[in-house]
Structure 1
Amino acid sequence: MDRSTQQRGHGRAALIVNTRSRSGERVFFRALDRLQELNVPLGATYPIRDPVRLPETVREVLSDGSGYETLILGGGDGSVSSVVDFLAHHHVTLGLLPLGTANDFARTLDIPSEVDGACDTVANGKVVDVDLGLAGDNYFVNVASVGLGVGATQALTPWAKKTIGALAYPVAAIKAFMTHEPFSARLVFPDGDHETVEHDRLLQVAVGNGKFYGGGMVVAPGSGIDDKSLDVYAIQLGRHRDMFGVARYLKSGDFIRNESVSQYRTTRVRLETDPELSVNIDGELVARTPQDFSVAGNALKVIVPQSSTAARRDHE
């Protein structure tokens, strides 16, 4: 075992790969070989062909008494989000092999997208503490949203993700924009850090925990995954040229400077909408408004490259 692994107290590791993710099937055996070459002490390995079984498998691994200290997960943002409820506030550390289309969680933490680099991170990286968002009692890693994000998720097809990769996200957003029905929203801040606000004719309301979403778009300038806060923004459906202006700056996060965008940084917010709407949580529609959002500080331990400055151990 290499020295960095011993220093980190790696212990035994379980490997679970969503082989239905964009590159999962061909990556599984390569990752298995590479991790063994790097002296990562692997125990059980699970190539999961049905993503529905992923949460169940993770739960079993964490509760079967095998004493794993690291869970190496191969998959995209959806895979991470589907199992993070079991990993939150758990002693097991997450090692990530980013195999999805967007990989925004990995991008936030500077984890390499290619398999050899990701395996090297698992073997030789450092452990950091990151925050998780909460929508009710559902944990999320990147962003929760209502409005355009929900429409884009519904327009995002597996075929598009496999054939055009991250470009599938803006294409789906354009499709959703063409049929979007504006809505109104009320934001209530229970901690009193902002006054209650109401917005009409909205395109989207998003609550971000990490730095990136939707294939590399920035949640907000200065947003981070260990800042103990959520970044909330509401985009008003204004003139079309205003919306094109917002679209232009989505990549950098400068869109919040557009006059049609209102932004709030907070630890807790209640979102009420008219009409009631589905909530997109890291790409899955698993809740509806009204919904309470909060931040769970230092809720997840993740292995990141030694050079990453995205987060740190809380005790450092």
Structure 2
Amino acid sequence: MVNARARTGAKAYVRAVENLRSLGMPLHSTFPLHDPARLPETVNSAVDAGHDLIILGGGDGSVSSVVDVLAHRGVPLGLLPLGTANDFARTLHIPTDLDHACRTIAHGKVVDIDLGLCGNNYYVNRASVGLGAGVAEAMSPTLKRWTGVLAYPVATVKALLRHRPFSAHLTFPDGDHEPQEHHGLLQLSIANGRYFGGGQLAAHDAGIDDATLDISVMRHGSLHDLIVAARDLKRGALDSEHVRHFRTKRVDVSTGPDLPINVDGELVDSTPQRFSVARNALHVVVPRTWKDASNPDF
């Protein structure tokens, strides 16, 4: 299934089908979908029909739209990264080159990875409050199509101009941290994957199969402060003057005022909300060289 409205989807569809068949993949059905809203129902129908592998061509938004359908269903996902950021593919070392991605599906291995939960909504990369939600509001399909990888910086500038600092209260149901109160915030992120936002690191040792969430709290500040904080996030240098980091399995978040939550690029909920880990919830095809944190020798 290829999201034909993904940045390179329409051109990639025919080539992907030809490549996969030439690699010996017995494709039962192929779908060039021009309406991304049909992806979840199409994937659900394929799973119900008994197919043993779902191959999805699209970006992070396409992946996130189908994980609610695939979570705990036992059917592996093969990914052809065709989006703008492709952070999920970057986390799993899946090549963005179409030919190499096809070879990964044909010759790779299946591993179990975690999903994040925002209430009852699954996500693969990150949920965020504050600037991240503002970026999601500013990130239109037209902007992504015309600016490509520059869409994130452009949308971020737009979001910064509109942003108002907020407060957040964090409590940890498992008692692994004391309650946290933070004021004057730019952003609060709860990451499941290693990368988000076009290559930012959740933490230098973050993993998508480590049974934990990486939380980063970023204070609002001057333009210089924001540039320094963005540099710190890009290289995973957390617990700096501008960014605080916590690692946990569950966290309850409330904000003042209540704010929308960006879940993998879509505004799907609002605070207050609980975030948690769904352990080994998704099967996915990765390169054979990818190291499984729960079984590093596999």
TM class by shorter chain equals: over 0.9
Matches within 5 A, 1:110-189: 110-189=93-172
Which secondary structure state, in structure 2, belongs to the residue aligned with residue 45 of structure 1? coil
Q: Look up the equivalent residue of 1:300 and give its one-letter code.
A: L
Q: Does 1:218 align with 2:201?
A: yes
Q: Conserved in 2, the CA contact under 8 Å of 1:212 and 1:219?
A: yes
Q: Look up the equivalent residue of 2:200 and give its one-letter code.
A: M
> How far off its partner does 1:238 sit?
2.7
Q: Deviations over 1:239-264 (max 9, x none)?
A: 3322221122332122x232122211
Which secondary structure state, in structure 2, belongs to the residue aligned with residue 130 of structure 1? strand
Q: Deviations over 1:104-160 (max 9, x none)?
A: 000000001011111100100011111100001100000000000011111122233
Aligned to 1:19: 4
The match for 2:80 among 75, 78, 97 is: 97
Q: Deviations over 1:4-27 (max 9, x none)?
A: xxxxxxxxxxxx111110111111
Q: Deviations over 1:32-57 (max 9, x none)?
A: 10110001111111111100111111
Q: Does 1:259 align with 2:259?
A: no
Q: Conserved in 2, the CA contact under 8 Å of 1:129 and 1:313?
A: no
Q: Conserved in 2, the CA contact under 8 Å of 1:152 and 1:176?
A: yes
> How far off its partner does 1:309 sit?
2.3
2:74 and 2:127 map into 1 onto residues whose CA distance is 26
Which secondary structure state, in structure 1, belongs to the residue aligned with residue 116 of structure 2? strand
> How far off its partner does 1:313 sit?
5.9
Q: Deviations over 1:84-103 (max 9, x none)?
A: 01111112100000110010
1:313 and 1:41 map into 2 onto residues whose CA distance is 29
The match for 2:21 among 16, 36, 40 is: 36
Q: Conserved in 1, the CA contact under 8 Å of 2:215 and 2:246?
A: yes
When the two structures are superposed, what TM-score results if normalisation uses the length of structure 1?
0.91
1:221 and 1:298 map into 2 onto residues whose CA distance is 21
Which secondary structure state, in structure 1, belongs to the residue aligned with residue 28 of structure 2? strand
Q: Conserved in 1, the CA contact under 8 Å of 2:210 and 2:294?
A: no
2:101 and 2:119 map into 1 onto residues whose CA distance is 32
Q: Conserved in 1, the CA contact under 8 Å of 2:54 and 2:76?
A: yes
Shift in alpha-carbon separation, 1:268–1:314, aligned structure 2, 3 A: farther
Shift in alpha-carbon separation, 1:228–1:110, aligned structure 2, 3 A: same
Aligned to 1:245: 228
Which secondary structure state, in structure 2, belongs to the residue aligned with residue 26 of structure 1? helix
> How far off its partner does 1:171 sit?
2.0
1:213 and 1:161 map into 2 onto residues whose CA distance is 16
2:273 and 2:297 map into 1 onto residues whose CA distance is 32
2:145 and 2:291 map into 1 onto residues whose CA distance is 31
Q: Does 1:231 align with 2:219?
A: no
Q: Deviations over 1:191-211 (max 9, x none)?
A: 000000110111010000000
1:239 and 1:214 map into 2 onto residues whose CA distance is 21
2:168 and 2:36 map into 1 onto residues whose CA distance is 34
Shift in alpha-carbon separation, 1:47–1:95, aligned structure 2, 3 A: same
Q: How many residues align structurally?
A: 298
The match for 1:296 among 252, 272, 278 is: 278
1:265 and 1:61 map into 2 onto residues whose CA distance is 36
> How far off its partner does 1:310 sit?
5.6
Q: Does 1:272 align with 2:254?
A: yes
Which secondary structure state, in structure 2, belongs to the residue aligned with residue 110 of structure 1? coil
Aligned to 2:38: 53
Q: Conserved in 1, the CA contact under 8 Å of 2:168 and 2:256?
A: yes
**RMSD across aligned C-alpha pairs, in angstroms?**
1.5
Point out where structure 2 has 5 or more consecutive residues left out of the alignment: none
Aligned to 1:308: 290
